[in-house]
Structures are given as structure tokens and as C-alpha cells.
Structure 1
């Protein structure tokens, strides 16, 4: 996918939010204030926060947020390597989530099923 297509998707999101703001200005402004405050540098710098947001976007399978946070992480100075490492961390967490459910819930279901078979 070319950068212009990615830009169009992010721009379409921004346009959509603009239309929402026309009908629900208080909600949209509150959202922007909240997210803006969350992404400001603090103990974690803005680049680290964008990399965290990227990982969550990937885990949530949110296409527009993924593109947006890659752009924002880059704008905050993240290198390709840092962006890819953040993606790898998200992959590890995502697969760990499935493994933990397999080791707990699936085993519980198997145990319950086996108990019902007796």
C-alpha cells in the first residue's frame, strides 16, 4: 500500500471526526483534550507513548490507528527499527494472550467436558 493511500485513510478519519465535531463538539473536544494530554511527554517521552499506542493499535487490529501511530512515532523521531520492535512486542503480547487462554480456559473446558463424559 502506497503512502498516499495510507494518508488518505488517516485523512478520512480526521474528516469524519470533523463531521462528528459539528454535531457533538463537546464530546470530540473532550476526546482530543484527553488523548492530547495522554500523549504529552511526561515520565515517558512522546515517542515512547506513540510506540505504545502503535502496539495497542496492532493488537486491536485498528488499521487507521496503526497508520496514524506509525506516522506520529516517526514524527517523534522513532526509527524503523524502533517501530518494528514495538510491532514485535505487540505480536509477543498477542500470542501470549492466546497461549495463556489455551493453558487456562481451554484446559478448564477440557476438564469440564471430561468430567461430563464420566
Structure 2
């Protein structure tokens, strides 16, 4: 199961990268505008980059967006969020998003944290 999860997380991240690359080739102006906008949104400000990633993770859970859930779980870890911080953000999301958000938090997020932490150690 662990190996299967690793492959699915790595595949999801790779698929997203491939997809955004293909999209950029076909609609470069749209991709540039989107990338500039999202980069500006995630810059350090009054809220830290880590806080912004935690917020994005919560939103992705409520929106049931698996790719964003994986991407922002990785973003949380990349910005130094602890597993406890990530799980607390998931808890807040489930308070708003209910069982659907909880199902993603207790499966996909925990699997991603475990797998991505193993890759860095």
C-alpha cells in the first residue's frame, strides 16, 4: 500500500507538471497570467507562505480537488509546516466541508505527508 501511494502521489505531481507544460505551450498568455497571479498570491506578506499553503490545503479539501490537495500538502511541507499543523488545517477544513473533506484528510493528506517526508529523509 505504501509503495502504491508513493507512486500515485509522484504520478499526480508529474501529471500536473506535464499538463501545465502542455497548456502553457497552447495558451502561453493565459498560463503566464495565471502563474503571475498565483505567485503573487503565495508571496510572503502579512500572512506567511506557510500559512497561505495551509489555507490553500484547506480550500482544496473542501473543493474536493485531489491534485490541489496533493500539491498544497507538498507546499505545506516545503514551507516548513509540521504534520500537526497540516492536520489542524485539515480539521478546520472538515469543520466546514464535513465528511467529504474528512475522507480526503484522513487518507490522501496523511499518505502524502508520510510519503513526502520519506523522500526528504
> Does residue 20 of structure 2 align to residue 17 of structure 1?
yes
1:73-107 C-alpha deviation (Å, 9 max, x unpaired) = 00100000000000000000124xxxxxxxxxxxx
> Relative contact order (C-alpha < 8 Å, sep 6+): which is higher?
2
Aligned residue pairs, count: 95
> Does residue 72 of structure 2 align to residue 69 of structure 1?
yes
TM-score (structure 2 length as normaliser): 0.76
Say which one has the larger Rg: 1
Counterpart-to-counterpart distance in 1, 2:6 and 2:87: 17
1:5-47 C-alpha deviation (Å, 9 max, x unpaired) = 2021011011111101111000001101000000011000000
Residue 77 of structure 1 aligns to a residue whose secondary structure is coil
Structure 2 equivalent of residue 8 of structure 1: 11
* Residue pairs, 1:1-118, within 5 angstroms: 1-95=4-98
TM-score (structure 1 length as normaliser): 0.77
- Backbone CA RMSD of aligned residues: 0.9
1:36-77 C-alpha deviation (Å, 9 max, x unpaired) = 000011000000000000000000000010000000100100
